[in-house]
Amino acid sequence: MRGSTIPAQSPLGTVTVRFITRAETVPLRRARLNPALPAQEAEPCPHEQTFQCGAFLDEELVAVVTFSAETAPNYADGQQPPPFTTQWHLRALATAPGHEGKGLARQAIAFGLNAIFAAAAPGSTGVWLYGKESTYGFYRRLGFSAAGLPFPTDTGPYDMFWISGPLPEEPARVR
């Protein structure tokens, strides 16, 4: 996956978005997503086509996201993924406490999506994710479309979201 770092000035400092290692994601993922994340999560998976992106505020890693080449599942209720030749799963998104709502996670996601779509023929590649109800607006603002078949979980409803690029232009929001 090709890409370069994207530095930008904000009122809080310099924001840089770049590819990072799987190991770099682990502290933030443990803090925000899963305190019991196993140590092997820091090891690269040679059999997986996966990459991670991170947003840094000055030198501090404040948002991480992982993209894995993975086909979305078909469901018995008829929910089926769009027919993209290549599919990527957006997962393991985490933002450091105190940095939510500043557009940093959005910048990390956009960086990864732009890298995926730049390497693919238009319309041939899709990115999917599961989003909980409280995140529906966030993903829609990024350009994702909901499958429209929410499913219940013990933490609330989730839906599958898709995007095939290119991304809509939106100014960075760092406060």
Local confidence pLDDT in tens for the 175 residues of the chain: 444 555 555 667 899 999 999 999 988 988 888 888 877 777 777 667 999 999 999 999 999 999 999 988 876 666 666 778 899 999 999 999 999 999 999 999 999 999 999 998 888 899 999 999 999 999 999 999 988 778 888 888 889 899 987 666 654 444 4
pLDDT at 46: 66
Strand partners for 7 = 16
pLDDT at 106: 95
pLDDT at 123: 82
Give all domains of the chain, ordered by start, each with its CATH number.
6-163 (3.40.630.30)
Note whether 3 and 114 are within 8 A (CB).
yes
Is the peptide bond between 150 and the residue preceding it cis, with omega within 30 degrees of 0?
no
- For residues 88 and 69, give the distance between their C-alpha atoms in angstroms, rounded to a whole number: 4
pLDDT at 77: 65
- For residues 67 and 128, give the distance between their C-alpha atoms in angstroms, rounded to a whole number: 10
pLDDT at 7: 57
3-state SS string over 58-72?
CCEEEEEEEEEECCC
pLDDT at 169: 62
Reported pTM: 0.85
Strands 125-132 and 86-95: parallel
Cβ neighbours of 137 (radius 10 Å): 10
